[in-house]
Amino acid sequence: MARYVKDFSEGDKDQKDLLGGKGANLAEMTRLGLPVPPGFTITTEACRAYMRTGEVPPELRVEVTMAVRHLEDQLGRRLGDFHDPLLVSVRSGAKFSMPGMMETVLNVGLNDASVQGLAELSGDERFAWDSYRRLIQMFGRTVLDIDGDLFSEALDKAKAARGVTADVDLDADDLRTLVGTYKQIVREQSGREFPQHPREQLDMAIVAVFDSWGTERARLYRRKERIPDDLGTAVNVCSMVFGNLGPTSGTGVAFTRDPASGRTGEFGDYLVNAQGEDVVAGIRNTLSLADLEEVDPAAHAELLQAMRRLETHYRDLCDIEFTIERGKLWMLQTRVGKRTAPAAFRIACQLVDEHLITMDEALSRVTGAQLSQLQFPQFAPVDDDSDRVLLTRGMAASPGAAVGMAVFDPATAAQWAADGKDVILVRRETNPDDLGGMIAAVGVLTARGGKTSHAAVVARGMGRTCVVGAEELVIDSEARTMTARGHTVHEGDVIAIDGTSGDVVLGDVPVVPSPVQRYLEDGLDVALAEAPDDETRELVRAVDRILRHADASRRLHVHANADTAEDAARARHLGAQGIGLCRTEHMFLGERRVLVERVVLADDDTERQAALDALLPLQRQDFTDILAAMDGLPTTIRLIDPPLHEFLPDLTDLSVKVALQAERGEVDEHDVTLLAAVRRMHEANPMLGLRGVRLGLVIPGLFDLQIRAVAEAVAARLAAGGDPHAEIMVPLVGSVQELRLVRERAVAIMAEVSAEQGVTVDLPVGCMIELPRAALTADRIAAQAQFFSFGTNDLTQTTWGFSRDDVEGAFFAQYTANGVLSVSPFETLDVKGVGQLVQIAVERGRATRPDLTLGVCGEHGGDPESIRFFDAVGLDYVSCSPFRVPIARLEAGRAAI
């Protein structure tokens, strides 16, 4: 039984692991009886054996011999034969398509003798010599690693010597001479002769394909596409058929439907008298399939029949490569075709309507990533990019396309926006004080920070276009300019940022709004009424159908992270079934900051209480508004979390201020006292310092104030006839004792408020699980918690010991380049590590309290891959930014089917 080689007639489409995508589909077409040139596939297992040992397994040599002889017998031709030579192509074919990444060698089997045989067989000497020179060129470049330019230059010289410009104008003699030149290039560059023995050519080409799996560009591509490095590639050895044997031959590509729009019909390009690469290279104008019907009706009819069979068989859009050799159709490749995001939704629904697939299958064929692409406005496409000046490229942090005037501080952003101008807030990095400016801006651009930096998280939360970490940018906030690549942008100059690619462009770029987002926010009728054409209407309907099916199928609930009534309402529109995380720290910024400063720095209880009393009605209103927007739905309000220093003046700024005062002899006692307090409370590592529950237990009255505000807001909503479902969540709990203390206060305060207001306020109290210790002691914590919500941002930070604010810009790029990470663990949950803690906490928590409600509210709650994991471990809900709610609905549906 052969281990490493399978004839095309032996496999099928489900063996992609072993045969690679191309090999599996060639086998499937062979099985269907379609005209595939005979051949065989060397399996990925052979490649893996080669990668392990650096040697071709000896059994492979034997199996290749058997397969070649079988092929020769089947076709009645021999490799390297004088008169009637068999030629083969050698092509890579991994499980996941890696277009253009790996090697192909055509015409293997030609040498000084068999080129004569090919001339005889084809009756075309020019063709034979052209095939031979192509072999030496491809072989030299890919197998012998010779600079391809040397061959192209020799070809150009040959054309110049003949005074012609096109390859086809070289005759047989020119090409024979060129073959001599090419062989000389091989000799000089590789120190060896071009191998004349066909089997040596074949063996070397196979090894070159194996080796091409490990090239730098292939590795990079895999990292980007998250394809594992250890899969290896298969090698397809296929008997050659020729599309360049004169006017009755040709080669082409075809799609069973339009991959852009999804429409059924005949789509494809055909090139008469040409070989594979010529079509892609765009050397000559191609014909349409309709034109092919005129040229060769029989081959055209056969092709259409094959296309229909393939589409029926795969029940999906297929793309096909074919060749016609002197009127005979050959199918060279097929695969389920790649498609744009709009086409994916349309095609899925079309196939349902044609009764080819079920709604479950339609749901499985679209992804959250595709839906997310459809949600954003986009830059209008340009035919020629040259007049767009790319200023720089940063990290794509929050998608969309934004055009506006550059401004360099949040106050100007807010002011200009109030004047009706579109602005893009440009900062070295952002901090909570920039929030107002970020809200006012249409887009945010930073020079520093990664995808989970403050700017990125906040922008995503708001659905605001954002590019971060554009490190080339030199921002001078004093002069109000930024400079990169020799261009200087002044405040007020128009720039455009693309949050999907990270591009930062000078000047105005036209933007097209998203009809799908319109549908998600305002419903089907509005979106249909506004859609500019039928295709858009079809797309909107398709998204609606598939999302509704996802909603009906999913087990996971989808909540949103929202901290204003406005965001809450928006999230609800987008399908959120509750608020999974209402962060309260933003409620203490702006004008309220002084009050918080007073709470923190108060010398005595009276002073502190006065500040707390002033904050109470403000907080109560915040919560009342949010509960009104979320009437009837669970609303999880998290007590204040961030490190203390965020509420205090910056240590350096204040030190400078006080030093200057001292110099001028104008000392302000308040500033001096403040500086002393700020120094006292300064932390070297604030993210691991006095934040979350620790802050609540250390600063008297702070949590009490918030709990009271929530309880009073609930009472107010009840009094107004509402149906509030508030829950109180305690952040950064590491020990059950911390939670016990807060819970006891909460119970007491709720009892007080109930008595004062004459209603029963009895809210669930739970905590975030965002420290490894919390996960490991979840059995004990669950005794005090009615629910857990996994804060996977902090849990990732504390499990890996990566600072979520710094790490991505600093070294993640290198970590992904050298393969330590395939994706940022802050983006997609690290299932092996952090995921284990989640699972442990789920099991231990539920063991103590079987009805414990479990959710996740870290950024991962909106990440498609992570959602599958959360579904599998049995969480009740995921919570994500409002914008990602539809994506989470879709992915939760996909996870469930």
Which residues of this chain interact with ligand PEP, rule CB under 6 A? 581, 583, 641, 770, 791-794, 857-858
DSSP 195: P
Asked whether the beta carbons of 485 and 391 are under 8 A apart, the reply is yes
Please give the residue whose beta carbon sits closest to Mg ion in the complex: 794
Nearest-5° Cα angle at 71, 65 to 76: 120
In three-state form (DSSP H/G/I as H, E/B as E, the rest C), the secondary structure along 336-385 is ECCCCHHHHHHHHHHHHHCCCCCHHHHHHCCCHHHHHHHHCCEECCCCCH
The nearest distance, CB 554 to ligand PEP, in angstroms, is 22
**Rule CB under 5 A: is residue 434 a binding residue for Mg ion?**
no
The nearest distance, CB 891 to ligand PEP, in angstroms, is 18
Which helix (H) or strand (E) segment is 331 a member of? Answer: strand 328-336
In the complex with Mg ion, the residue whose CB is nearer, 597 or 770, is: 770
The nearest distance, CB 816 to ligand PEP, in angstroms, is 22
In the complex with Mg ion, the residue whose CB is nearer, 27 or 771, is: 771
**557 contact, one of ligand PEP, Mg ion, none, CB 5-8 Å limit per kind:** none
- The side-by-side arrangement of strands in the sheet containing 88-94 is 5-7, 39-42, 233-239, 88-94, 104-108
**43 contact, one of Mg ion, ligand PEP, none, CB 5-8 Å limit per kind:** none
DSSP 13: T
In the complex with Mg ion, the residue whose CB is nearer, 368 or 791, is: 791
In the complex with ligand PEP, the residue whose CB is nearer, 212 or 879, is: 879
DSSP reduced 3-state for 642: coil
Asked whether the beta carbons of 103 and 94 are under 8 A apart, the reply is no
| Pure H helices in 229-367 | 276-281, 289-295, 297-314, 341-353, 359-364
The nearest distance, CB 797 to ligand PEP, in angstroms, is 7
In angstroms, the CA 696 to CA 704 distance is 8
In the complex with Mg ion, the residue whose CB is nearer, 724 or 791, is: 791
Asked whether the beta carbons of 383 and 402 are under 8 A apart, the reply is no
The nearest distance, CB 488 to ligand PEP, in angstroms, is 36
Q: How many CB atoms lie within 10 A of CB 608?
A: 19
**857 contact, one of Mg ion, ligand PEP, none, CB 5-8 Å limit per kind:** ligand PEP
The nearest distance, CB 795 to ligand PEP, in angstroms, is 6
The nearest distance, CB 794 to ligand PEP, in angstroms, is 3
The nearest distance, CB 65 to ligand PEP, in angstroms, is 59
Interface residue with Mg ion among 130, 794, 805, 863 (CB under 5 A) is 794
Q: How many CA atoms lie within 13 A of 619 on its CB side?
A: 32
Which residues fall within 8 angstroms of residue 506, CB to CB, at 6 or more apart? 388, 389, 390, 391, 487, 489, 493, 494, 495, 496
**858 contact, one of ligand PEP, Mg ion, none, CB 5-8 Å limit per kind:** ligand PEP
CA-nearest of 701, 703, 742 to 609 is 701
In the complex with ligand PEP, the residue whose CB is nearer, 633 or 640, is: 640
Which helix (H) or strand (E) segment is 226 a member of? Answer: none
In the complex with Mg ion, the residue whose CB is nearer, 432 or 791, is: 791
Q: How many CB atoms lie within 10 A of CB 5?
A: 23
Q: Which residues are catalytic?
A: 454, 857
Q: Which stretch binds Mg ion (CB under 5 A): 362-370, 498-506, 645-653, 766-774?
A: 766-774
List the beta bridge partners of residue 89.
Answer: 238
In the complex with ligand PEP, the residue whose CB is nearer, 334 or 797, is: 797
**583 contact, one of ligand PEP, Mg ion, none, CB 5-8 Å limit per kind:** ligand PEP
The residue type at 805:
D
**728 contact, one of Mg ion, ligand PEP, none, CB 5-8 Å limit per kind:** none
The nearest distance, CB 735 to ligand PEP, in angstroms, is 17
Distance from first CA to last CA of the chain, Å, rounded? 38
In the complex with Mg ion, the residue whose CB is nearer, 146 or 579, is: 579
Q: How many CB atoms lie within 10 A of CB 326?
A: 14
**502 contact, one of ligand PEP, Mg ion, none, CB 5-8 Å limit per kind:** none
Nearest-5° Cα angle at 133, 130 to 139: 135
**Rule CB under 5 A: is residue 791 a binding residue for Mg ion?**
yes
**Rule CB under 5 A: is residue 461 a binding residue for Mg ion?**
no
Q: What is the dihedral of CA 14, 20, 22, 28, to 10 degrees?
A: -30
**792 contact, one of ligand PEP, Mg ion, none, CB 5-8 Å limit per kind:** ligand PEP
Asked whether the beta carbons of 41 and 19 are under 8 A apart, the reply is yes
Residue numbers of the site for Mg ion (CB under 5 A)?
Answer: 770, 791, 794
